[in-house]
A and B are shown apart, each in its own frame.
Chain A
Amino acid sequence: MAHFSFSTLVRKAIGGDKDWPQQWAKPEPKSDYDVIIVGAGGHGLGAAYYLAKEHGITNVAVLEKAWLGGGNTGRNTTIIRSNYLYDESARLYDHALDLWEGLSQEINYNVMFSQRGVMMLAHTVHDVQILKRHIHANRLGGVDNEWLSPEEAKAFCPPLNISSKSRYPIMGAALQRRGGVARHDAVAWGYARAAAARGVDIIEQCAVTGILRAADGRVQGVETTRGTIGAKKIAICAAAHSSVIMDMAGLRVPIECYPLQALVSEPIEPAFPCVVLSNTVHAYISQSDKGELVIGAGTDQYVSYSQGGPLHSIEHTVAAICEMFPIFTRLRLLRNWGGTVDVTPDRSPIIAKTPVQGLYLNGGWGTGGFKATPGAAHLLAWTVAKDEPHPINAPYTMERFRTGRLIDEAAAAAVAH
């Protein structure tokens, strides 16, 4: 792998940017692998990288039905934060945030991680109480999160409308300064390049159609649209297709899929310094480095794999954005798109062994998967390599829905997710 640095950038620029090398190979699938990862998004590619780097397992293939990073990795609004209420969640997402901080150096690829701060607005007394509860819980858990008055919130984010006459007046905000955004495509590309450099095969246009089992029940490999491929272990990072793939192994999972839409405006001068989330009016917004405002809507209400959604959800979100940020009312929107989010009943993910020997699931991330990318990948690699969970992901089993040990961020969420 050619090392990227400032000097390579300058040299290639002088040379007219002509001979940049291919960043990862496109191999034909081999007949057998130690580990097959299903799904080449950030989580799957990252898990392959950590398997190779931290556990010395390099005979790994990442199979992707469509193209690399084209699912939820390329469809989210790139927000990164870790100020969750419960200890289990705060540990999980803070582990990811720790890894985000060194990621560009780690994989020698600029993921444009920008810790510009994530601010959550309170519009009602109830919001104030919930956000303060989060802040206190986070402080006890060592996660940064602080309370801002409306004036302090305005100072941190000048476009904010804190007039007491607005329909949903702003009564304060919780700010996580370590939070921010990153370039989602670069995360997938960077992990792909770093994993491929350590010997991982990344195979696109290869849909898994069946899971092969030995007589004793353990996994043996997968049937794909490009033939049968053997594997000792299989890790599923298929997000919206978790249920479909687990069904191939005869397992039912507590996951349902919903559409989630996002949209971007035309690019404008830098005007918006941070990320703002509001649960009550249900909107989140940030400005990309290209200058587009990136706006996320809420999930739609019905089960769907359509990767689209109705216009009234967007209208609802845009109305909320215009109310909070009157300066954006005359902006034109450039495009909108949808992703399919895999949601569990308690809105916490599953990163665990399954009842099938050799089969592992990383799924159910709902709308919060991108922020966890390095953490989920790192923990999944550990779980697969050692055949037991890391202490951080030990609570995130499938069995918790039977035992009742839920991690109920659904009830605690500071934003619906």
Chain B
Amino acid sequence: MLLIRCPYCEADRAEVEFTYAGEAHIDRPEDPSALSDAEWEAFLFLRSNPRGTHFERWYHIHGCARYFNAVRDTVSDKFLMTYKAREPRPTELEIADAKK
């Protein structure tokens, strides 16, 4: 069971309170009808799937019911940090700090 810190509730909670919601920082196309097939493929289906640092969305469904973002290591499953939905993607420096 993972312990996840909800940045809205400001509390560490058990994984069963949350639902995973896929990779973070994938923007919806502003003009969908202008997209080529390759761009649609990238938006819908291609994900980074890294062995290492992953940016992802979680939904605190049994808590505040809000979406937030997280940085997690996909090998150790350790959460490096969580942050609110509209905050910018953490820099490599910030992630390196969180790993310490």
A interface: dominant SS: loop
Asked whether, in the complex, the Cβ of A302 is within 8 Å of the Cβ of B45, the reply is no
- Contact B74–A345 (Cβ < 8 Å): no
Contact of B20 among A243, A252, A302, A306 (CB under 8 A): A302
Known: A302-B56, A305-B51, A312-B16. A403 touches B37 (CB 8 A): yes
Which of B42, B45, B50, B56 has the largest number of chain A CB atoms within 10 A? Answer: B45
**In the complex, A102 has a CB within 8 A of chain B:** no
A312 — which chain B residues lie within 8 A by C-beta?
1, 15-16
In the complex, the answer to whether B37 meets A252 with C-beta atoms within 8 Å is no
Measured CA separation A308–B78 after assembly (Å)? 13
A243 to chain B: which residues have CB within 8 Å? 49-51
Whole-angstrom CA separation of A252 from B42 in the bound complex? 9
User: Could you give, for residues 222-257 of chain A, a 1 whenever the CB lies within 8 Å of some chain B CB and a 0 otherwise?
Assistant: 000000000000000000010110000000111111
Interface centre among B2, B41, B72, by most chain A C-beta atoms within 10 angstroms, is B41
- In the complex the two chains form, is B51's CB within 8 Å of A244's CB? yes
Question: What residue of chain A has the Cβ atom nearest to residue B41's Cβ?
Answer: A402
**Known interface pairs A244-B51, A312-B15; A306-B76 also in contact (CB < 8 Å):** yes
Q: Indicate if A303 sits at the interface (CB-CB under 8 A).
A: yes
Q: Which residues of B contact A142 (CB under 8 A)?
A: none
- Chain B nearest CB from A21 CB (Å) reads 38
Q: Mark B1-43, 1 if CB is under 8 A from A, else 0.
A: 1100000000000011001100100000000000001101110
Residue of A nearest to B1 (CB): A310
User: Which residues of chain B are within 8 angstroms of A306 by Cβ–Cβ distance?
Assistant: 74-77
Residue of B whose beta carbon sits closest to that of A242: B49
Residue pair B49, A255 in contact (C-beta under 8 Å): yes
A228 to B8, CA, bound (A): 50
Check if A401 is an interface residue, CB within 8 A of chain B: yes
Are A254 and B20 closer than 8 Å at their CB atoms?
A: no
- Closest Cβ of chain B to A212, distance in Å, is 21
For residue B23, which residues in chain A have a CB less than 8 angstroms away from its CB? Answer: 303
User: Does B54 touch A at the CB level, under 8 Å?
Assistant: yes
B96 part of interface (Cβ distance < 8 Å)? no
Q: Mark A252-268, 1 if CB is under 8 A from B, else 0.
A: 11111100000000000
User: Is A301 close to B, CB under 8 A?
Assistant: yes
B2 touches A310 (CB 8 A): yes
A311 close to chain B: CB less than 8 A: yes
B47 within 8 Å of A by Cβ?
Answer: yes
Q: Does A336 contact B (CB under 8 A)?
A: no
Q: Which residue of B lies closest to A241 (CB)?
A: B51
A304: B residues at CB distance < 8 A: 74-75, 77
Determine how close the nearest CB of chain A comes to the CB of B3; give it in whole angstroms.
Answer: 11
- Would you call A310 and B15 a contact (CB within 8 A)? yes
User: How distant is the Cα of A253 from the Cα of B72 in the complex, in angstroms?
Assistant: 21
Is B93 an interface residue, CB under 8 A from the partner? Answer: no
Nearest CB in chain B: distance from A302 CB, A: 4
Give every chain A residue within 8 A of B41 (Cβ-Cβ).
Answer: 254, 401-402
List the 6 closest pairs (A to B, CB-CB), nearest first. A301-B20, A254-B45, A402-B41, A243-B49, A302-B20, A401-B45
Q: Chain B residues in contact with chain A, CB under 8 A?
A: 1-2, 15-16, 19-20, 23, 37-38, 40-42, 44-47, 49-51, 54, 56, 72, 74-77
Question: Beyond A257-B49, A301-B20, A402-B41: 6 further Cβ-contacts under 8 Å?
Answer: A253-B46, A255-B49, A302-B72, A303-B23, A308-B77, A310-B1
